[in-house]
Amino acid sequence: MSITYSNNALRVDGKKVATFESERAFEIMRDALFENLSRDAATLFALSLLGEATTAEVADLLGSDRSNTYRRLCALVEQGKAVIVDEAYHDGLRGRPTHVWRVAPAR
């Protein structure tokens, strides 16, 4: 299943399922969904809304820290629900590489 949000429209598998009058209306709906989903489901939903995203972008959307978001994304990769699209190491900087993630294609 592919969930995307653009131009005030929420689409599931390309079909428009909801239209929002404003960005704020979408944020209210998103927050209500996140509060009622498991953390893994919320992370997967956030990733599906963003398309391809870094750990930091997913964490920002969820209002979570990057460390926990990274762990959840890794678990989703292990479950076959997400994939790492790209990794970038930053010369001279410490820490993990920057990953770009997306929802895994349906099997």
**Structural domain total, the chain:** 1
How do 82-88 and 98-103 pair as beta strands? antiparallel
2 vs 85, higher pLDDT: 85
**Could you give the strand order of the β-sheet that contains 9-12, starting from the edge strand earlier in sequence?**
3-6, 9-12, 15-19
Helix (H, G, I), strand (E, B) or coil at 55: helix
Q: Is the pLDDT of residue 97 over 80?
A: no
CATH number at residue 16: 1.10.10.10
pLDDT at 102 over 70: yes
3-state secondary structure of 87: strand
User: Whole-prediction pTM value?
Assistant: 0.73
- Give the range of the structural domain holding residue 97, as residue numbers without chain letter: 3-103
